[in-house]
Homo-oligomer: A and B are copies of this chain.
Amino acid sequence: MPMTVKELEVLHASQGHEKSGLFSGISETGLQTLLQASSLRDFAAGHVLVQQGDKPECLYMVIKGAARTFRMDAEGREATIRMLLPGDTCMEAVMFMGGDSPINVQVMEASQLLLLPAHIVKRHVLDDAAFAANLLRIVARHYKNAMHQIDAMNIKSPLQRVGYYFLTRHLEMAPDSLEFTLPFRKQTVANYLGITPETFSRTLQQIKALGIDIDGERIKMRDAYVLCHFCDSDTAALCSRHGKDGCEQCAHHQGNPAVAHSVMRNTGRT
């Protein structure tokens, strides 16, 4: 089921917020090949696209709406891996992992997605190094994000997790504004951060005390530097204010004797 002309138009219109770069730099004919094989479909809120254990059949790109990927244990408790907004893709990594899908994918609101069959993607990777490189970049970015999640869980307190999440949200959504919104409902964000909705709620109270106004899903910062406490060396690179005067926190990123020192301990056998 190739796409109709109308659908292609919709897709092109969507390229504006195309963050993933899945198609960037690839030849026009290559793009045509891929799009011919794809289809554009609408899904209702809550629709489950992929379940753990399914064979990965498609790469999904969110055109309109939102989705999430998550894992579930035997008791039915969920750990959110990623939350997707328009332009984001999922299952690109899964199809190269080998074996069945380790994740569930669920549409979170009425959404429109582009579906690209897995066998097409796999074949095209071997034909087109630029496409392969794009996928590599995307998967590497996911991996980076996963690493952040890991150390957030291992290391950070709820306040730090939420603060860091706010910082990345702010930088990604509206770096020039003192205001941004939560792109998902609070319980979803809480699960993504690995805390309960109750704890999330209480943590928001603490955040308010730092000078951030929270009104429903609207977050208003008193000034541009209130989130600097939560900045780390990765994130600093994305922040236009990094190193400026107001950013007191940044002092401890560059030299960071604590790091060098701490790394040097802890040698040892296998």
Contacts and interface: CB of A to CB of B under 8 A. Distances in A.
B146 A147 contact: yes
B155 A263 contact: no
A232 interface: yes
B98 A137 contact: yes
A258 B153 contact: no
A100 B141 CA distance: 12
Interface string A177-202: 00000011100100000100000000
A108 interface: yes
A154 B155 contact: no
Contact of A66 (B79, B136, B184, B270): B270
B151 A154 contact: no
Interface in A97-117: 97-100, 102-104, 106, 108-109
A16 interface: no
Number of copies of this protein chain within its complex: 2
A179 to B, nearest CB: 17
A188 to B, nearest CB: 8
Chain B CB count within 10 A is highest, among A71, A260, A262, for: A71
A57 interface: no
A142 B256 CA distance: 28
B129 A52 contact: no
A51 interface: yes
A228 interface: no
Contact of A51 (B95, B146, B259): B259
A269 interface: yes
B75 A151 contact: no
A129 B125 contact: yes
Q: Identify the 4 closest CB pairs spanning chains A and B, nearest first.
A: A46-B267, A132-B132, A79-B154, A146-B146
Given A51-B263, A99-B237, A132-B133, 7 more contacts: A52-B233, A53-B233, A78-B262, A79-B150, A102-B144, A103-B147, A153-B153
Interface of A: 45-46, 48, 51-53, 65-66, 71-79, 81, 93-100, 102-104, 106, 108-109, 125-130, 132-133, 135-137, 139-144, 146-151, 153-156, 160, 183-185, 188, 194, 232-234, 237, 252-253, 256, 258-264, 266-270
